Structure 1
Amino acid sequence: MTRTGACLFSAGLLPVFRPSRRYAAVKTSASFAANGRLVKNNNVEFKRKELKDYFEESKDMIKTDGGPPRWFSPLESGSHSHDSPLLLYLPGIDGTGLGLIRQHQLLGKIEHRLSPCCNKVFHGAGLVKLVERTIRSESYRSPSRPIYIVGESLGACIALAAASCNPDVDLSLILVNPATSFSKSILQPLLPLLEVMSDQATSSVFANGRSLEVEARIPFYSKDSMVKVLSLQQIVGDISQDFIASSFYLSVVTDILPEETLIWKLQMLETASMFVNSRLNTVEAQTLILSSGRDQLLPSQEEGVRLCHTLPKCEIRSISDSGHFLFLEDGIDLVSIIKGTYFYRRGKYLNHVSDYMPITPSEFNRYYPSYRFYENITSPVMLSTLENGMIVRGLQGIPSEGPVLVVGYHMLHGMEIIPIICQFYVQRKMILRGMALPGLFERLISKALPNASLFDIIRIMGSVPASASNLYKLLSAKSHILHYPGGLREALHRKDEKYKLSWPDQSEFVRMAARFGAKIVPFGVVGEDDVVEALFDYKDPMENPFLKPVAKDLTRTDANEEMATEDISFPVYLPKIPGRFYYYFGKPIETEGTAI
């Protein structure tokens, strides 16, 4: 399978469905095709597909053509650059390969696109081997590029199995509601019953869901045990509920999962779950787990936490109001999730500058309303200085061409950051890339600190871990950069340190800015004292024998950066009558030609 969208044969696997005319598919035998992908006209605009499109296209996909499992490339994802990473999608219990149908265009709009290839298959015993051959072939073709595997439910088990057997291949796994929790699923108690049921009994249960009739046919099942067992009709009902499907599409769901197929897949879920759980300790791939809070089929949230504690390179994001078929729901954007977790890279290691995907207007419009209340409370006033020294309201004084280094003072908890970043984008369409605490991107600080998902928005807006190397890269890329020399210590200052600078004696950022001829825009902010009053800071718990252990747990212990020797404190503050924040950006300071 190649990025061109070739489809593969694998001996011994069951037939799959006829390719839809909307997808490109080329059959090969022993070798991988280097061409064969149909390319859509770049001038054609596509509307993002809806749930009904999934069902309509599934009607074509579920018609068997007697062929083996295969990959297909969605046409709506468009063309891609030669260095774009490959994304493989392994479907869940539906098996159509259309589970990413609402994400295809978004994946194709990435600057260095993830080139999606989807698997369309009723899973068989040879599917892991099929995936293994694919990733090994692609790794050989592009050894410097990672391979992304998005696996849903059963597909997540296949992805983990392939990763455990190929630790030398650079894989990035995105696991959606993994079926590794099948032993705790509502589906698991049904298997023993199904294994002894006749075809006639199975049809009866599927038709009317009457467990008493099954009990009469299988007398050694007690009433207590039967109460715990779901009928096939109930399972299909749960699946339909997770699809958020109307009764009009219920027939499509039952066509996708007929009786025999559903029974077979439940058996396969059990086998795959047992196999993968026995090999979790061998999985070394970078992993992102997406867990739905309202999964009707699997205990996905609990399982996500378990896997995150088991896998060494794992992050988890929980979507509390979503069901089992996550990517078919409204408001779910896989690209934004990848951005927010800094999961996208084109090489062996993440480059926070070259691998950054700029926020799109639609993404900004989706996130910005969540922060408007903060701006409404603080009513920020932005003042900037033009080149002639005139002070104007707004950000017209900020140079349009980079590199530009915006340098200023941190208020308590960095409360001034959100209005700055938002207004730079609203007023000037500039992405202000902040130098942020490394612990917001890596697991460097205590588990007692807030969940990393709370900071996904700052990653989407372009923030990077504060380091000399990242500052160098941003200046090289002629970016607009937000820098706080006072760092964490200044943002978490003590009660008696209002508006006190905590800058280091040697401000090396000036020397580096001069090397690139960057413009330095100094700024200051006032108004914090009109909003909150600190009542409790780091000194207070350190003097309290009961709170001292907690305070120590929040103290940084790593020594990678200059900030590593600082104590983290989370002051307790009392809200006051809301006041305004005033931002003043001084006249840009030219450094080009300056010898420092």
Structure 2
Amino acid sequence: MTSTSGKPKGNPNIKPVALWTEERPPATTTLRTQTTTSRRRSFVEEEKKKSSEEGETIKILKEEELEEDERKRKSLKNYFDEAKNMVRSDSGPPRWFSPLECESHTSDSPVLFYLPGIDGVGLGLIRQHELLGKIFDVWCLHIPAKDRTSFTGLVKMIEKSVRSENCRSPNKPIYIVGDSLGACLALAVAARNPDLDLVLILANPGTSFSKSVLQSTEPLLILTDILPKETLLWKLELLKSASAYANARLQAVKAQTLILCSGRDQLLPSQEEGQRLRRALPKCQTHSFDDNGHFLFLVGRSPSHLPSFPIVFVSETYLKDREEENRVDLVTIIKSASYYRRGRNVDYVSDYMPPTITEFNKIYEQSRWFTCVTSPVMLSTLEDGKIVMGLSGIPAEGPVLFVGYHNLIGIELAPMIPQFMIERNILVRGVAHPMIFFKLREGKLPDLGTFDIFRAMGAVPVSGKNLYKLMASKSHALLYPGGMREALHRKGEEYKLFWPETSEFVRMAARFGAKIIPFGAVGEDDFAQVVFDYDDQKKIPFFGSGIEEKTNETVKLRSDTIGEVANQPVHMPYCIPKVPGRFYYYFGKPIQTQGRESELRDRKKAQELYLEVKSEVENCLAYLREKREKDPYRNILARFIHKATHGFTSEVPTFEL
């Protein structure tokens, strides 16, 4: 709110926010007078501080600790309490507010505008504020209950603020998160401003209003205890016009868009609508939440009997019982989709935000069972050449480049990457195929959301530029020279390297004095056997055409390379599962390149080192295949008996070194 003098005027009933008028957002520093120096500490510095305070290793949180972490965040009760205060004590035109929980962002954080759903309060992200505030400058639109601004009037107001922000920071993207009705507003603004660098994140867009049960909810309006009946009637009419306006202008939308679709949305056909919009918009991805309902950011998993009416119609008790089930974190979604950037284009190295401890624990939970089944054995090599159990031989400081053999469909990654964080607090960033980041066209390849975990854990698209940046930033990077050809190998090709004939990484590593660590991972042949491979599939027209389609959807790599490594058609080998064996990893002695930059500029010398690394990887594989024959716990039954006797959290022994 503002007084006639133009200075911010406080409202005693709206304590958690600072406001600006609809005319022009002021510089954020003029309103955030309660911000302290400590709260402005950068996100990265805070995470480093947390890591140092917790010691050398990442702490795997127990279930009750994760629940406690969730309880610290605002709840649905907070939403209802604050929403009621804002609605009952407020009047005036639509305007923006910035929650005080969002004050810890840094000077280079992009702006995020939140456009609310049918309730119009602007607190739809209340459970996301604290985390969003670490990486965004967050401003939420509040539409007072008595306001009757038309849809086009709201669009023009938002457009004015967006353009004002663009004038202030022309090199930064502007994020617009639109919820239901807000998604229509976001699309309308984007259609009117194709020249602006906008990133739209749309949750269950109201563009499907014509197919919605919301058209017949009038008898339920008396159930609300937040908004007056006449306000809800107005909002339904507003949503109807918003849907028509946005749909008529979809062809003009050029913004990068991420659509979040709930599988159990009983108000809107959101998953169907998400697919329609993905086909209609040029730079669009979708992310499905099969177990969630319409109120994606407020309520978790939605049971099949969720009532068919908006959150403002539902009792607080009913929703509170479900608020922690399968809750969605918007920050995690944005990071995992590689949609977070500070400039015109995403920088996969400098824009990357490492997972928080809570995020890592949730990611680790998804592979914990596999790690338990495989009981991985990890060996590393000290500087003096001694082989030791565990990862103590891995240098703590980068740059480090791991170079190894890619197991069948990359199955070795699931136990390996988390173990580096757990044991050494080292984030290993994979140099991955571009297909997990973008597709050339829609087709038969899996939805990009399938690869969220890879991106969340720091994978970057394979390129010389990205490897350069990883080495320059002193990262621990992971490279598989055999790429897809190795991971999707044929029958009888287990543990066979398919590397290019010439060096691709040696001189890059030497430029930054990186340590190269050759390694091998063994175990795929104890888990599955390939029975229907590429050679078999290409003989059958149905499979052959499918391979060609999927290959044409991906970026072509190594087009200037000859030999088997250049043959990387996209397909999925069919396998027969086996009684689970065990995974073994051996990280060889680090190869120093520091001080050898001049020497390794010579292509012949670089090629010699390249062949040395390849030979070491083959030696690691041979060593593990021989040693595992002497492991009394290679069989899962032996491991199960050991765990039953010594406790299921106990470490299973292996062969003697």
Shift in CA distance, 30/173, structure 1 to aligned 2, threshold 3 Å: closer
- Residue 273 of structure 1 deviates from its aligned partner by 0.6
- Correspondence 1:37 to 2:32: yes
Partner of 1:121: 143
Partner of 2:44: none
Secondary structure at the counterpart of residue 102 of structure 1? coil
Secondary structure at the counterpart of residue 119 of structure 1? strand
Q: Could you tell me whether the CA contact under 8 Å between 2:118 and 2:180 is conserved in 1?
A: yes
After TM superposition, the structure 1 = structure 2 runs for residues 139-178 of structure 1, keeping only pairs within 5 Å, are 139-178=166-205
Q: What amino acid maps onto 2:573 in structure 1?
A: P
Q: Which moved more, 1:170-179 or 1:539-548?
A: 539-548
- Residue 366 of structure 1 deviates from its aligned partner by 1.1
CA RMSD of aligned residues (A): 2.2
Q: Could you tell me whether the CA contact under 8 Å between 2:203 and 2:259 is conserved in 1?
A: yes
Q: Distance in 2 between matches of 1:160 and 1:19?
A: 33
Aligned residues: 524
Q: Distance in 1 between matches of 2:442 and 2:532?
A: 20
Partner of 1:332: 328
Partner of 2:16: 22
Q: Could you tell me whether the CA contact under 8 Å between 1:87 and 1:116 is conserved in 2?
A: yes
Shift in CA distance, 18/314, structure 1 to aligned 2, threshold 3 Å: farther
Shift in CA distance, 31/183, structure 1 to aligned 2, threshold 3 Å: closer
Percent identity between the two aligned chains: 56
- Correspondence 1:444 to 2:440: yes
Secondary structure at the counterpart of residue 457 of structure 1? helix
- Correspondence 1:535 to 2:531: yes
Q: What amino acid maps onto 1:177 in structure 2?
A: N
Identify which of 455, 466, 489 aligns with 1:470.
Answer: 466
Q: Distance in 2 between matches of 1:560 and 1:476?
A: 26
Identify which of 146, 160, 172 aligns with 1:133.
Answer: 160
- Residue 18 of structure 1 deviates from its aligned partner by 8.2
Partner of 1:232: 219
Partner of 2:605: none
Q: Distance in 1 between matches of 2:422 and 2:2?
A: 45
Q: What amino acid maps onto 1:267 in structure 2?
A: E
Q: Deviations over 1:168-226 (max 9, x none)?
A: 111100001111000000122x4xxxxxxxxxxxxxxxxxxxxxxxxxxxxxxxxxxxx
Secondary structure at the counterpart of residue 368 of structure 1? helix
Q: Could you tell me whether the CA contact under 8 Å between 1:39 and 1:79 is conserved in 2?
A: no
Q: Which moved more, 1:59-68 or 1:150-159?
A: 59-68
Partner of 1:108: 133
- Correspondence 1:55 to 2:69: no
Query: Which consecutive residues of structure 1, in runs of 5 or more, have no partner in the other structure?
Result: 1-5, 10-16, 191-229, 238-253
Shift in CA distance, 134/29, structure 1 to aligned 2, threshold 3 Å: closer
Shift in CA distance, 497/260, structure 1 to aligned 2, threshold 3 Å: same
Q: Could you tell me whether the CA contact under 8 Å between 1:18 and 1:65 is conserved in 2?
A: no
Partner of 1:306: 276
Q: Which moved more, 1:541-550 or 1:141-150?
A: 541-550
- Residue 580 of structure 1 deviates from its aligned partner by 0.8
Q: Which moved more, 1:480-489 or 1:446-455?
A: 446-455
Q: Distance in 1 between matches of 2:442 and 2:579?
A: 33
Secondary structure at the counterpart of residue 106 of structure 1? helix
Q: Could you tell me whether the CA contact under 8 Å between 2:24 and 2:160 is conserved in 1?
A: no
- Correspondence 1:416 to 2:403: no
Partner of 1:208: none
Partner of 2:95: 70
Secondary structure at the counterpart of residue 183 of structure 2? helix
- Residue 65 of structure 1 deviates from its aligned partner by 3.6
Q: Distance in 1 between matches of 2:463 and 2:455?
A: 15
- Residue 54 of structure 1 deviates from its aligned partner by 0.4
Secondary structure at the counterpart of residue 91 of structure 2? strand
Q: Could you tell me whether the CA contact under 8 Å between 1:438 and 1:466 is conserved in 2?
A: yes
Partner of 2:375: 379
Q: Distance in 1 between matches of 2:169 and 2:541?
A: 57
- Correspondence 1:269 to 2:256: no
Shift in CA distance, 554/169, structure 1 to aligned 2, threshold 3 Å: closer
Shift in CA distance, 133/578, structure 1 to aligned 2, threshold 3 Å: same
Q: Distance in 2 between matches of 1:545 and 1:72?
A: 59
Q: What amino acid maps onto 2:431 in structure 1?
A: M
Q: Which moved more, 1:404-413 or 1:55-64?
A: 55-64
Secondary structure at the counterpart of residue 326 of structure 1? coil
- Correspondence 1:515 to 2:511: yes
Q: Distance in 1 between matches of 2:269 and 2:552?
A: 35
Q: TM-score of the superposition, structure 2-length normalised?
A: 0.76
Q: Which moved more, 1:282-291 or 1:543-552?
A: 543-552
Q: TM-score of the superposition, structure 1-length normalised?
A: 0.84
Identify which of 419, 422, 428 aligns with 1:426.
Answer: 422
- Correspondence 1:368 to 2:364: yes
Q: Distance in 2 between matches of 1:30 and 1:379?
A: 59
- Residue 347 of structure 1 deviates from its aligned partner by 0.2
Q: Distance in 1 between matches of 2:405 and 2:87?
A: 60
Q: Distance in 2 between matches of 1:127 and 1:69?
A: 8
Secondary structure at the counterpart of residue 520 of structure 2? strand
Secondary structure at the counterpart of residue 79 of structure 2? helix
Partner of 1:591: 593
Q: Distance in 1 between matches of 2:501 and 2:524?
A: 25
Q: What amino acid maps onto 1:381 in structure 2?
A: V
- Residue 581 of structure 1 deviates from its aligned partner by 1.0
- Residue 31 of structure 1 deviates from its aligned partner by 7.6
Q: Could you tell me whether the CA contact under 8 Å between 2:442 and 2:553 is conserved in 1?
A: no
- Correspondence 1:180 to 2:207: yes
- Residue 363 of structure 1 deviates from its aligned partner by 0.4
- Residue 513 of structure 1 deviates from its aligned partner by 0.2
Shift in CA distance, 31/186, structure 1 to aligned 2, threshold 3 Å: closer
Q: Could you tell me whether the CA contact under 8 Å between 1:445 and 1:554 is conserved in 2?
A: no
Q: What amino acid maps onto 1:151 in structure 2?
A: G
Q: What amino acid maps onto 1:449 in structure 2?
A: L
Shift in CA distance, 566/236, structure 1 to aligned 2, threshold 3 Å: farther
Q: Distance in 2 between matches of 1:561 and 1:356?
A: 24
- Correspondence 1:289 to 2:316: no
Secondary structure at the counterpart of residue 511 of structure 1? helix
Q: Which moved more, 1:259-268 or 1:440-449?
A: 440-449
Shift in CA distance, 136/474, structure 1 to aligned 2, threshold 3 Å: same
Q: What amino acid maps onto 1:482 in structure 2?
A: L
- Correspondence 1:396 to 2:366: no
Shift in CA distance, 536/157, structure 1 to aligned 2, threshold 3 Å: same
